[in-house]
Chain A
């Protein structure tokens, strides 16, 4: 609202929004990181430089060398291999938890948008209540009863991500419900389920994708924290968080053992965050006007 006519405004770079180039760069970097990690995980399913189950006392705490690019841990296990296998846990937990959250949260959001106002508000209040339970807290509660495990972590993180999906989908769905083609469909007597599937769902798709990326980043963080606390992956399964926990006692001797998994975690989170940001800006209709 700078007092300029629409025509003149359009010639200025959009305020506060990334330029087209910026969005592409973000998508590239974020997508690149995510792709690299996925590749690493897939490769590690069939091959790693060294066997992570093998304990090699002779080579404990080795520094970087041509044999072990990033050195070894206190059991003599190759750090690169550990990181690779750890990425499996990270991606698996992220995938399942986001899947659970989406499968429950998206229909919930659409439902909350399509029912009469009163009910929708009630559902959202309950949603907000669930929002108050961060993943970690839920996971801790679950672990207290069930014992630790990857599945516990996945379920807990999944449940705690539901409110975000529900919220985002609901506000998107409300917008769709107000469009003319939905009004026309309702006037023509189409059943709500049909409207939900044919009209609402495709239109909130982009919102879901963006939220999925963001929730994935959160899941990575949560899984790392859980493993660090000893509540996630059990001792046998390599996980970046667990590597952090195991390495902490050796902080004064070999701080690098903390840095490598730490960087891996941060990179993964950064990748998913950038991907989510890039996708969000890519799907933003306001940006379309620029060309």
Chain B
């Protein structure tokens, strides 16, 4: 897609210093998703998904299970199972060997190209730290491996040393000892830090996190989140943060997209979307998340009904069977109202905000 002007050649085998990169580069798209659609047979799982993340941006992707957010992440990584025939366009732009920018069109690339991209241009942190690491391989070796595969260090020895350094940077005490440990000797929080270290090892242009702290203890969550944010900031990398936890999105992300039923239903800056949601689903989400806000009858705000099974969402507006404001017009797919895929919503009867109140 776009190349990154002004990128200096780096010292042999090394990466350019992150701060230098930040000052020289104009913002460029690290991932551009257009019209992404995924289906199993005739059952649609993702429809019309548009998404962009730029260098240094932190974008949140919110939704409940079954909304398609994880599928979107897997699509960007090129890790979708074969049966789900994806269509549309997904372009990931990072910096390949020699720090020359390279773009990969994920849906068209072969396995070789995708393997070169993963762990280098884009990296992913998954939800379950307890099972994410190979139990029979030492932790340091697993971190070093991501560097030797992509040739981002001079040799094995350099990879090992850098692995220890990374483990130190993610906050593991006694990093040299930790590197020789096996995963079962580490706690869940520690394992997730290792995974973050592995993901950031090659200074990827984009880091995708899919519920990275959901399985961790509350006290550890904040630490790992902080780690992730500082990690992407130091590298001026883009962050795509997937979660159902609105509080986390509010504290970590600048922009947010809301997904439901395999579609993006609303998008915009975090503050705007959370304080003045337009889509009825977003409104319901925000209301349901606010435990201090009670209905006049004393009950908590909920969204009526429950999330339909995958592929069984209603035609037209995917939310209409649970929406209190649905009408016959909602039987056709609502148009996207907004200047671009980053700001807007798709709702026929959006929430209207006047001054202080809303309806």
Contacts and interface: CB of A to CB of B under 8 A. Distances in A.
A12 B74 CA distance: 16
Interface string B71-106: 101100001010110000000000000000000000
Interface in B45-93: 45, 65-67, 70-71, 73-74, 79, 81, 83-84
Contacts of B71: 4-5, 8
A12 B79 CA distance: 15
Interface in B196-211: 210
A2 B66 CA distance: 14
A2 B81 contact: yes
Nearest to B131: A1
Interface in A195-249: none
B175 interface: no
Contacts of A184: none
Contact of B45 (A3, A6, A8, A13): A8
Contacts of A1: 128, 131
Contact of A5 (B40, B41, B66, B126): B66
Contacts of B43: 11
Given A8-B71, A11-B40, A3 B126 contact: yes
A6 B65 contact: yes
A116 interface: no
Main secondary structure on chain B at its contact with chain A?
loop
Contacts of B45: 8, 11
Contacts of A10: 309-310
The size bracket of the interface on B is: 20 to 34
Main secondary structure on chain A at its contact with chain B?
loop
Interface string A1-45: 111111110111100000000000000000000000000000000
B311 interface: yes
Contact of B70 (A5, A12, A13): A5
Contacts of A3: 70, 73-74, 79, 126, 210
B210 A5 contact: no
Nearest to A13: B83
Interface string A91-108: 000000000000000000
B40 A8 contact: yes
Nearest to B311: A11
B65 A12 contact: no
Contacts of B79: 2-3
B310 A5 contact: yes
Given A1-B131, A12-B40, A7 B73 contact: no
B301 to A, nearest CB: 24
A291 B61 CA distance: 32
A5 B67 CA distance: 9
A12 B65 CA distance: 17
Contacts of A6: 65-66
A3 to B, nearest CB: 5
A197 B168 CA distance: 59
B134 to A, nearest CB: 14
A7 B309 contact: yes
A6 to B, nearest CB: 7
A4 to B, nearest CB: 6
A8 B310 contact: yes
A11 B312 CA distance: 11
Nearest to B79: A3
A1 B70 CA distance: 12
Given A1-B131, A3-B79, A11 B70 contact: no
A8 B75 CA distance: 14
B128 A4 contact: no
A263 to B, nearest CB: 40
A1 B126 CA distance: 11
A10 B311 CA distance: 11
Interface of A: 1-8, 10-13
Given A3-B73, A12-B84, 14 more contacts: A1-B128, A3-B126, A4-B81, A5-B65, A5-B70, A5-B310, A6-B66, A7-B66, A7-B310, A8-B45, A8-B66, A8-B71, A11-B43, A12-B81
11 contacts: A1-B131, A2-B81, A3-B126, A5-B71, A7-B66, A11-B40, A11-B43, A12-B81, A12-B83, A12-B84, A13-B83
The 7 closest A-B pairs by CB, nearest first: A7-B310, A5-B65, A11-B40, A8-B310, A7-B66, A5-B66, A7-B309
